[in-house]
Structure 1
Amino acid sequence: MTPCFRLFPLALCMVGAALAGCASFKPVSPSTVDQSERPALAILLFGFDIEITKLSDVKTVQGTLTPEDESTQVAEALREIQHEARWLLLSRLATGQGFRIVPLEQTDTLAEELHLKPGELPNAEQLAEFHRRLGTDLVVAGSILDYGKVRWQWLVAGIFADISWETIALGVATSWNPAVVLGNVGYELLTSPPLWFGGGYLFGVAFRPVRVEARAFETIQGYPIWQSMDESAYVWRALKALPEAVREKKETQLEVNAAEIMESLADSLTEQELTISQLRGQP
């Protein structure tokens, strides 16, 4: 396996190792799959399915940054989050002992050659190349859906669901009186958006929500064989183990939430008890 210091800057590696140590949320249940039957698994770099343009969305910021400096630091912060998410997943999978992990350098080199972008789902031809060139049985691809804030699409959906239910209830109660129904819709459109969007903002500030989705594909036929999505908002028991000056930082709170998610995703995949024979269609 590629040493940690070859994957990230030394400082990031040390922080990640400390975080992983303090944010183990439940004991690992080792896989019962025989060592000779453990599939070779490649983990692609996670992508972002949410646009993040402000550094303050993902970390505590001191002072004012120029637009150029902020853009550069946002890009650096997002790269660190992507690599750390994959490293956390890899670490937990390795502890579960259900897979043989393909070295990350080999995975990234082949992904680049195949023009696979972070978070992009591989097609059957690309998966076949992973099997042919790296002997890979499984490829995991994932996306970070939310990180530090609630996406506006969910808030809009909540607003319209709220208005729809109230409109139906009011319509039934008033025999669908147009004046009453339309009056209520107008009132809700005026009052609901500030409440929903304000609440969404406060939720992001107070709880640092993180949501991640991951899929695993077998490399013979290119079929998806596992998919899971998990979310975390506030893990106090892990945060309180950290020094106060550290746990107050937004980036620390988000990293702890991400660690809980990656642990859960890894355990879910390990619990599938997948074997080489199953994946290759052997009796």
Structure 2
Amino acid sequence: MTSAVVAKGVGPLLRGWRVRRRLSQLELALRADSSARHISFVETGRSRPSEAMLLRLAEHLEVPVRERNALLLAAGYAPRYAETPLDDPALGALRAGIEQLLAGYEPYPALVVDGGYDVVAANRGIAMLLDGLPGHLLDPPLNAMRITLHPEGLAPRIRNLREWRGHLLAQMERQIALARSPALRELYDEVAAYPPPRARAGDGRPGEEGPGEEDPPSPYAAFALPLRIEHGGQVLSFVSSISTFNTPMDVTVAELAIETLLPADPATVKHLRRLSG
């Protein structure tokens, strides 16, 4: 967080979060056991909230952990939440649990990303999907968004790229709206500007560049948008599920997301089990 943001004080920051959550001052006051008058005084700088009240407001406004530290700093308090490196011994149990979870999900793909979509852990199912990609995309830090949407990455293999790309970009836009992250905005601008892969032969759209002819929707994935991706001469279909940690007290942990790819049809299950031996 920049010193300019801190200098504005906590009032405008709180008001911004309240407006973003589409709550009136009265609604927020009722949730936080306060009064609309007090909320108004805090937002206009006429009153300084206590640390406990500020954290209570942040909780009811569902402010991300990193941004809660920003609110505390702006109000003149010390940050409450540490940002522990993932390789720190203090997070050893967390790393072990993540590795066990990813291994237990095999042969299906699963990975863990941080707040910038850098991959911090992945299982052999992910390695299978990335097989054959150019080395410059696989150099660390491996970025999930970049490797998925890059024209030399997975994009040419994704049979419903138009839909999947729209889903990923919308996901990033929602995250950017919650976090003032120049790095995340830079990543979004990069991947949104990638040229689409050239149309495959038989696409039926001469002169137009874009993904090849898309497959008809799978009846097995009617409950959610599937990722349909080519591998080994077969089109695999997955539904993505993303999990985060409940009530995190550390910025690093709060920004971790575990993504598992659930097979969306029997053919995908059969293919992955055959490859796993």
Fold-level similarity (TM above 0.5): no
The higher relative CO (CA closer than 8 Å, separation ≥ 6) is in: 1
Q: Report the TM-score when normalising by structure 1.
A: 0.28
The TM-score, its normalising length taken from structure 2, stands at 0.28
